[in-house]
């Protein structure tokens, strides 16, 4: 085991002022697509928005169980005939092989009472550096042929993004009017954010045409626990996604409906960590084992089972990379010192004991890169979030101690000394990490884990950074611009570069390249 736990070292978090937990004050900054897209497609997107918002049948691509597979998912309108979960796929567009899958009914409460069926299909036998073509069947009718080209797997390039959260710009002002979160085409926030999400993908692809796939750290859409098909329609309408698979993560805004599970056909789905949206899953790609945890479920024992199952399935992977939504080591004001770190005391030792190399996070709508971290070897409390009384959202005001059932108020009222003391004890208990003594932006055979937090990929919503940078953070940024990271992974090297997109569409680096090297 490479990560030897070191006992007795407790590091204090910087003291910060916490915003009221229920308020989660996004800033006045957001990406106004009518401005950044004025000369680059906004008018065309706007004119087709009513059609886009009503089309729930867009296809999503997801990495398969390994790099020889590709997963498809889409809706079909339900008719008198049976659904046809069929993908035609191959190198000869005039002679495509047929792959069949499974289908099922979509909850009509989520689709305005209109009947749909979801279709899930896995295509197998893919080879690297090969051009393929595909069509899918919607009620027996084939879609137009689309080109899909695989990339090399010896050196894998991955786009890592956080929180597209299409629809989160609601309440912002555009052209003198307030962006709305109403249903259907009236959801002008989804209209704005879907364009910005597509713009980010196009920019990243123009700079990196050799991308293998995308990792999204969660919150693809915005409406928590409510029907939001127009938001999914906007998210999936990005042209780049017709040929670029996305390994999505279940965020808190995705978690409470089954629509996520309909739209994304994730590989190696487990029964662990389940919410209404689904549970944990994992896959292999190139030299990496990728483990995706639904941390909206706070049962860490189940997440540990997923990690151990994945490691047993792919024991020889050179890299073990976990994606979670909540940033247990982040630097944003609204989440990183409250609900974001809820699972820190439990997940840190699990990640250590399973030799995880990198953890990719979202949730905080700010960018940060941690120092190399591992646990302190001490015994700490266990905490979780729970749903509110009617189950419509999470109780953002309280953390619960799993063992004692104590409810910890995350934003005590002035003068409530008992609540403040409980919060202080909660924060102190989360000083459960050790900072590895390494220097520079290239580390070799580290003991610790790198924790990344991605800012918003669409710019639909931003948060402030905490006033004082935490001691576990090496670099951070908040410039009110959509951003993305590019991971380059080989058998012995993992590098990550991060960029922001300026209003005039240029990609600018916001951090130095950080590299982990392995010699063992």
For residues 84-103, give the mean pLDDT.
97
Q: For residue range 463-495, what is the model confidence (pLDDT) as tens digits?
A: 999 999 999 999 999 999 999 999 999 999 999
User: Is the pLDDT reported for residue 432 higher than 90?
Assistant: yes
Predicted pLDDT at 24: 58
Predicted pLDDT at 337: 81
pLDDT band at 154 (very low <50, low <70, confident <90, very high): very high
Single out the residue of 345, 344, 327 nearest to residue 336, CA to CA. 327
| SS3 (DSSP) at 289 | strand
Predicted pLDDT at 245: 98
Pairing of strands 288-292, 483-489: unpaired
For residues 376-387, give the mean pLDDT.
91
CA gap 428, 442 in Å, rounded: 31
Q: For residue range 61-93, what is the model confidence (pLDDT) as tens digits?
A: 999 999 999 999 999 998 877 789 999 999 999
Q: What's the mean per-residue pLDDT of the chain?
A: 93
CA gap 238, 248 in Å, rounded: 15
Per DSSP, which regions of 270-424 are E strands? 281-285, 288-292, 319-323, 358-361, 367-370, 373-375, 383-384, 398-401, 407-409
Q: Is the dihedral of CA 388, 394, 396, 400 positive or negative?
A: positive
CATH superfamily placement of domain 68-149: Purple acid phosphatase-like, N-terminal (2.60.40.380)
For residues 342-367, give the mean pLDDT.
97
Q: For residue range 306-335, what is the model confidence (pLDDT) as tens digits?
A: 999 999 999 999 999 999 999 999 999 878
Predicted pLDDT at 51: 98
Q: Which of 130-139, 391-400, 439-448, 493-502 has the lowest mean pLDDT?
A: 391-400
User: Is the pLDDT reported for residue 342 higher than 70?
Assistant: yes
DSSP 240: G
Q: For residue range 201-217, what is the model confidence (pLDDT) as tens digits?
A: 999 999 999 999 999 99
DSSP 75: E
Predicted pLDDT at 2: 39
Give residue 89's Cα distance to chain centre: 28
Whether 134 contacts 121, CB under 8 Å? no
For residues 123-148, give the mean pLDDT.
96
Q: For residue range 26-66, what is the model confidence (pLDDT) as tens digits?
A: 788 999 999 999 999 999 999 999 999 999 999 999 999 99
Burial of 388 per CB tally in 10 Å (0-12, 13-18, 19+): middle
Single out the residue of 387, 488, 389 nearest to residue 160, CA to CA. 488
Q: For residue range 238-295, what is the model confidence (pLDDT) as tens digits?
A: 999 999 999 999 999 999 999 999 999 999 999 999 999 999 999 999 999 999 999 9
CATH architecture of 150-517: 4-Layer Sandwich (3.60)
Predicted pLDDT at 27: 83
Whether 58 contacts 146, CB under 8 Å? no
Whether 327 contacts 340, CB under 8 Å? yes
Single out the residue of 17, 22, 26, 24 nearest to residue 409, CA to CA. 22
For residues 338-350, give the mean pLDDT.
92
Q: CA 42, 44, 49, 52: dihedral to nearest 10 degrees?
A: -120
Domain ranges of the chain: 68-149, 150-517
User: Is the pLDDT reported for residue 505 higher than 60?
Assistant: yes
Predicted pLDDT at 20: 35
pTM of the entire predicted model: 0.93
């Amino acid at each position: 085991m490479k990560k030897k736990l070191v006992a007795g070292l407790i590091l204090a978090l910087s003291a910060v002022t916490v915003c009221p937990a229920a308020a989660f004050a996004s800033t006045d900054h957001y990406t106004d697509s009518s401005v950044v897209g004025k000369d680059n497609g906004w008018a065309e997107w706007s004119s087709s928005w009513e059609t886009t918002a009503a089309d729930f049948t867009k296809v999503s691509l997801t990495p398969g169980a390994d790099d020889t597979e590709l997963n498809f998912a889409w809706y079909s309108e339900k008719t008198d005939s049976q659904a046809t979960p069929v993908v035609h796929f191959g190198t000869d567009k005039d002679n495509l092989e047929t792959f069949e899958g499974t289908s099922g009914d979509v909850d009509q409460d989520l689709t305005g009472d209109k009947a749909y069926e979801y279709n899930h299909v896995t295509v197998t036998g893919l080879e690297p550096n090969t051009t393929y073509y595909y069509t899918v069947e919607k009620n027996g009718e084939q879609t137009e042929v689309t080109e899909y080209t695989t990339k090399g797997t010896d050196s894998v390039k991955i786009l890592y993004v956080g929180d597209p959260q299409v629809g989160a710009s609601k309440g912002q002002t555009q052209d003198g009017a307030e962006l709305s979160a109403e249903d259907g085409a009236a959801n002008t926030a989804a209209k704005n954010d879907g364009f910005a999400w597509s713009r980010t993908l196009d920019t990243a692809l123009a700079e990196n045409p050799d991308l293998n796939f995308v990792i999204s750290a969660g919150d693809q859409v915005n409406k928590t626990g409510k029907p939001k098909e127009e938001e999914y329609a906007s998210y999936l309408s990005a042209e780049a996604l017709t040929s670029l698979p996305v390994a999505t993560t279940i965020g808190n805004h995705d978690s409470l409906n089954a629509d996520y599970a309909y739209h994304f056909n994730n590989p190696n789905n487990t029964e662990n960590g389940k919410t209404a949206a689904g549970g944990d899953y994992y896959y292999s790609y190139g030299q990496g084992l990728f483990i995706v945890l639904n941390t909206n479920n706070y049962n860490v024992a189940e997440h540990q089972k997923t990690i151990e199952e994945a490691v047993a399935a792919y024991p020889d992977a050179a890299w073990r990379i976990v994606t979670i939504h909540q940033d247990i080591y982040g630097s944003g004001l609204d989440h990183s010192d409250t609900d974001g770190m809820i699972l820190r005391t439990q997940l840190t030792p699990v990640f250590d004991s399973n030799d995880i190399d990198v953890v990719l996070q979202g949730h905080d709508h700010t960018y940060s890169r941690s120092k190399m971290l591992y646990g302190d070897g001490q015994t700490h409390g266990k905490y979780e979030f729970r749903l509110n009384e009617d189950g419509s959202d999470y109780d953002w005001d309280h953390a619960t101690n799993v063992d004692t059932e104590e409810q910890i108020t995350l934003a005590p009222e002035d003068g409530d000394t008992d609540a403040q003391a409980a919060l202080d004890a909660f924060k102190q208990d989360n000083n459960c990490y050790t900072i590895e003594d390494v220097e520079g932006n290239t580390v070799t055979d580290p003991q610790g884990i790198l924790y990344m937090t991605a800012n918003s990929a669409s710019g639909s919503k931003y948060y402030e950074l905490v006033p004082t940078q935490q001691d576990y953070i090496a670099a951070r940024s908040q410039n009110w611009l959509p951003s993305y990271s590019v991971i380059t992974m080989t058998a012995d090297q993992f590098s990550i570069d991060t960029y922001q997109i300026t209003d005039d569409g240029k990609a600018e680096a916001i951090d130095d390249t950080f590299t982990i090297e392995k010699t063992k």
